[in-house]
Amino acid sequence: MGRIQGKVAVITGGASGIGLAAAKLFAAEGAKVVIGDLKPEQAEAAAAEITADGGTAIGLAVDAMDEASLTGLVDAAVSTFGALHIMCNHVGGSNPRKDLDLLRLDMDEFDRTMKLNVRSTVVGSRAALPHIIAAGGGSIINTASVGGLSGDFLQVSYGTAKAAVIRLTEYMATQYGAQNVRCNSIAPGAIMTPALRDNLPEEAIESIRGHNALPYIGAAEDIAQAMLYLASEESRYVTGQCLVVDGGMSSHSSIAEDRRSLLPDTPGQ
């Protein structure tokens, strides 16, 4: 307990899924948490739940694609709690029904995806950096994806955007490390969130499970724990990195599963 005691953290997209799990965990570990979400009633409800459990949190509306709204969220955190130490640029995504392969891609969706994932990370970080530097340093954590690490048949916009987030993270780590600002990204694999259930049929989810090295799909709390590590002093010598948390999905060759049938029936034979 108390791994980020007294720190002030902003989490965008913090009212559901991974963001909510991180907000609860950060508060339980002593941080004052500002939950920003497009749905203010959910952000307020999340903050109320944290407060009822003995933590400190406020929930505010934020449109991550609106610069003034995102900057206002950061300013509200500083005016409420007096400082800022941790910025989690977590909001992101794309519409998988429009974000297809290159020839069938909806270009309006491409532009929206880049703005939602990349530009919001730029704007949020620009707003947070002066305050984090003024506080003596801290941590910026950007949510990427394993989709940004390799190619796929679908969601070309999302994968391209998350690849940009990973590279942007390295630039920020390089440019502001001397001011004691660490910047890292996290690349989740498939995580059992409402968004996953809403966008994929059960057979697709089972297929993902089959491609993991571990025999299950991760939970939001698994990513929250990784975010806590990067927010805390335990990662004081870690910056410019992309922490992959995917159950081993990206650890093996694309043909590994097909080669399983070549194994003898009895181990050791």
Catalytic residue among 158, 171, 216, 237: 158
**Residue 171: active-site member:** no
Q: Which two tokens stand for residue 11?
A: 């989490």
With beta carbons less than 8 A apart as the criterion, state whether 118 and 161 touch. yes
Question: Which positions are annotated as active-site residues?
Answer: 158
